[in-house]
């Protein structure tokens, strides 16, 4: 199985999870942090359409690796994100099944972005009933021989335009189908069928 190199996203869009499922992933945590990317943002489907959730990160004039990206907790981002998710998905078919475990993560305090992202990735693995194997990089490499480098996949500063099959969304009748949203949009709407959708 070819190793894929990825950077841990905040949940990550569906297109990202299609790469993660049944793959040998090496998570690059030593690549320089890129702001306004899927490293600290995710997109959900709200009543008003596309809604962006962004984790505030402390910035520096000096470049720093993803591993050292610190969350700015002076802003009540966790409370705001959880409230937005509840509002958007409380009427979705499977929200009740997953909400308690998700709320627990949003109620924990985090210093580093990478720790929060990995806890969310682990949660998605748990929801999808997939064995967790987290392999982290030990140093930064420009090129990985014999590996598929997907690190740029989460560099998007705007909503992904990757095309996915249509599935039912809470506000489909009002807003139409919104493509390649956060993995939680798929899971809250499709539940156990999400894994088959991703394969």
Domain that includes residue 156, residue range: 3-194
* Structural domains in the chain (count): 1
The answer for residues whose C-beta is within 8 angstroms of residue 186's C-beta and 6 or more apart is 14, 17, 167, 194, 197, 198
Contact between residue 35 and residue 154 where contact means Cβ atoms under 8 Å apart: no
| pLDDT recorded at residue 76 | 96
The residues facing 168 across adjacent strands are: none
Q: Is residue 53 part of a domain?
A: yes
Two structure tokens written together for 1: 């199985």
Residue 76 lies in a domain: yes
Q: What is the pLDDT along the chain (199 residues), one digit of tens a residue?
A: 789 999 999 999 999 999 999 789 999 999 999 988 999 999 999 999 999 999 999 988 899 999 999 999 999 999 999 999 999 999 999 999 999 999 999 999 999 999 999 999 999 999 999 987 899 999 999 999 889 999 998 887 677 777 889 999 999 999 999 999 999 999 999 999 999 999 9
Residue 31: partners with Cβ closer than 8 Å, 6 or more residues away: 7, 65, 66, 140, 151
Report d(CA 128, CA 49) in Å as an integer. Answer: 26
Q: Is residue 132 part of a domain?
A: yes
Does some domain include residue 167?
A: yes
Q: What is the pLDDT of residues 53-98, one digit of tens each?
A: 999 999 888 999 999 999 999 999 999 999 999 999 999 999 999 9
Give the global pTM.
0.94
Inter-CA distances, 103 with 57, 79, 90, Å: 21, 10, 13
CA distances from 154 to 49, 97, 130 (A): 22, 28, 22
199 lies in some domain: no
In a domain, 16, yes or no: yes
Per-residue model confidence (pLDDT) at position 23: 86
pLDDT score for 163: 86
Is 14 a member of any domain?
Answer: yes
């Amino acid at each position: 199985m070819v190793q894929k190199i990825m950077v841990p996203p905040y949940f990550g869009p569906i297109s990202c999870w299609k790469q993660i499922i049944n793959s040998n992933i090496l998570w690059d945590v030593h690549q320089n942090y890129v702001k306004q990317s899927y490293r600290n943002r995710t997109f959900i489907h709200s009543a008003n359409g596309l809604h962006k959730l962004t984790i505030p990160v402390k910035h520096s004039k000096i470049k720093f690796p993803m591993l050292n990206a610190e969350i700015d907790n002076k802003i009540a981002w966790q409370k705001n994100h959880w409230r937005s998710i509840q509002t958007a998905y409380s009427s979705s078919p499977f929200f009740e099944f997953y909400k308690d475990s998700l709320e627990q993560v949003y109620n924990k305090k985090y210093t580093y972005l990478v720790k929060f992202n990995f806890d969310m990735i682990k949660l998605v693995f748990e929801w999808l009933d997939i064995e967790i194997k987290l392999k982290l990089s030990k140093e930064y490499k420009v090129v990985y021989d014999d590996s598929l480098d997907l690190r740029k996949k989460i560099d998007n500063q705007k909503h992904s335009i990757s095309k996915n099959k249509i599935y039912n969304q809470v506000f489909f009748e009002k807003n139409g189908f919104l493509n390649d949203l956060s993995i939680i949009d798929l899971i809250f709407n499709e539940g156990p069928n999400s894994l088959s959708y991703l394969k």
